[in-house]
Structure 1
């Protein structure tokens, strides 16, 4: 089996897949990739039928190598990447061979980036997932010197492909639907909330992130509120009126009032917002939210249809002279009868 070796880990690196749904009753949230869209993009680029376990890189990447020829996909927040110092296109697949050094720098925009090998990270699954769940101690951060098993590449000769970048790494509008606690907030508070351009605050992790504004958005009806089920996308209002958007590793039960819930289609935008990025909530109806809903199989099918083979720049091909650029040869005298000559 192929191994992926980590020579240097600069950011917070973890193994992530699509998580462990279906265990809320046992107190275990889904977890998995913060930007699920990025794993779907990786699957499309690698031509796999479903998303694979990948390395999630928060903030920065590191240095990597492989023990057998393996295609990899680089998706999510764009980072500067090189293979033996030759620049690599982001949101694309590339072949890495033994002895080559893959170096990935810091995020140029956004927060979470993904390195997906074509065979997927093949660590031992637990409850049907290989995802690290840091808040409850499942797995942990990867470090320099770690070696990860990787499944065999099913199509090692498949050409590299690229995807047009999706603009979700610099904040923007996030659509929010009403939830069970929306009625606890006054119309004035709701109007103010949806008129505010929030900044992603400095406090945030895989459990949730803070939205910062000068205004506060409290409710007098929060006292004595019974705890109930919560999930990714819920916008909880703390006692001092500061909103937090719950993310992949949030708790399963909470008692803070929820002013609404970010729709799943916009959670990647929230996850990728770096501190200081502006997020503008927009209130939408349930019908509007349902109109955006798509299965991840449909999303993957759409992304696969948008993948195109990469066109390599001859100036960047180090082994250009090893390619057969011209096939066949002629003597030239067969043209004598027809070629015009000057006398």
Structure 2
């Protein structure tokens, strides 16, 4: 193993390698995957001088602790959290120099869910189908990070950004998701369609990288017959038998057998990645006339 690597001291609740994902393989049953909060991942890459396609680490709730084997530049963004180097507080949302052998601790999220750690050179694990992303549903890509793992790094190609701090949106106090009608909207009663865009839901603790699950009023079907499995896309809002909407995120399946009542605008999905359990959710119709 090269000296240009990261040793994982504490992996945290769930830390994965993510990049732009592996688009173009849905016809083979392979989801896109990739960073849930894509703007945050792109930001840490810009801050440390990486190209947009470089792989970063995505943390969940309680961060991670890393020890680089050589000096690196690191940036942490996404969910706000404390960051220290050998116990000394350093900037969040800005490039930070970490000497070889120093202990970089990315602490628990103060708000939001997912943090992103960009390292100069990028995380250089072996790509699968052109991507280094961990896909929790299909099992493609590297497995979730564990304590004691050693992650190879690429060679830096550009200097880091010269900024004091980079502005970022705060995690949502209320998650507003704009939706257009889905292919199976007519499978629900008119009252259910009205309830979907007028009632308030809340983010369920059962949410994950596959889907944002909600708690709230159950949506009644107009048809109770079985639906043959059909293709679904990023942001599709599927309604399982319990009637509570599920918003498909990066690791979603490419086909599903429950009706899709709507599809969320892609631009609204990064906020969904940072919505903590209990966050109010409103689905807002942007139906074209």
- TM-score tier by shorter-chain length is over 0.9
Rounded Cα–Cα distance in structure 1 between residues aligned with 2:163 and 2:98: 11
Off by >6 Å, runs of 4+ in structure 1 = none
Contact persistence 1:4–1:65 (CA under 8 A)? yes
Matched with 1:176 is 179
Alignment partners' CA distance in 2, 1:232 and 1:124: 25
Secondary structure of 1:12's partner? Answer: coil
Q: Take 1:150 and 1:196, find their aligned partners in 2: how far apart are those partners?
A: 47
CA contact (8 A) 1:194 1:283 kept: yes
Give the number of the structure whose residues are more often helix, by fraction: 1
Q: Among 189, 200, 205, which residue is 2:203 paired with?
A: 200
State yes or no: 1:258 paired with 2:260: yes
Deviations 1:183-221 (A, max 9, x none): 3323322221111121101212111121111x2112122
Distance change (3 Å), C-alpha of 1:157 and 1:104: closer
The answer to whether the 8 Å contact 1:218/1:237 transfers is: no
Do the aligned partners of 1:78 and 1:109 also contact (CA within 8 Å) in 2? yes
C-alpha separation in 2, matches of 1:101 and 1:159? 23
Inter-CA distance 5–286: structure 2 relative to 1 (3 Å threshold): farther
SS in 1 for 2:267: helix
- Aligned pair partner of 1:151 in 154, 157, 172: 154
**Deviation, structure 1 residue 122:** 0.7
Tell whether the 8 Å contact from 1:39 to 1:52 is kept in structure 2 after alignment.
no
Deviation at 1:51, TM superposition (A): 3.7
What is the TM-score normalised by the length of structure 1? 0.79
- Taking the aligned partners of 2:136 and 2:62, their CA distance within structure 1 comes to 18
Bigger CA drift: 168-177 or 64-73? 168-177
Contact 2:70 2:101 in 1 (8 A): no
Paired residues of 1:218 and 1:239 also in contact (CA < 8 A) = no
Kindly state the Cα deviation for residue 268 of structure 1 after the two structures are TM-superposed: 0.9
Determine helix, strand or coil for the equivalent of 1:268: helix
How far apart are 1:169 and its partner, in Å? 4.1
* Cα-Cα RMSD: 1.8
Structure 1 match to 2:103: 101
Task: Quote the offset at 1:144 in angstroms.
Answer: 1.4
- Note the C-alpha offset of 1:38: 1.2
CA, structure 1 residues 66+211, in 2 after alignment: closer, same or farther (shift >3 Å)?
A: same
The residue that corresponds to 1:5 in the other structure is 7
Structure 2 residue aligned with 1:110: 112
**What SS does the corresponding residue of 2:15 show, helix, strand or coil?**
strand
CA-to-aligned-CA distance 1:45-82 (integer Å, 9 cap, x gap): 23444242011111111211212221112111112111
Cα shift readout 1:215-262 (whole Å, capped 9, x = no counterpart): 211212251322210122111111121111111111111111111011
Runs of at least 5 residues in structure 1 that lack an aligned partner in the other structure? 288-343
Contact 1:170–1:272 (CA<8 Å) still a contact in 2? no
Secondary structure of 2:219's aligned partner: coil
Match of 1:291 in 2: none
The residue that corresponds to 1:71 in the other structure is 73
The structure number with the bigger radius of gyration is 1
How many residues align structurally?
A: 286
Structure 1 residues 201 and 27, CA, compared in 2 at 3 Å: closer, same or farther? Answer: same
The answer to whether residue 50 in structure 2 is matched with residue 28 in structure 1 is no
Where does structure 2 lack aligned partners over 5 or more consecutive residues?
none
CA distance in 1, matches of 2:287, 2:160: 47
The answer to whether 1:212 aligns with 2:215 is: yes
Deviation of the 1:137 alpha carbon: 2.0
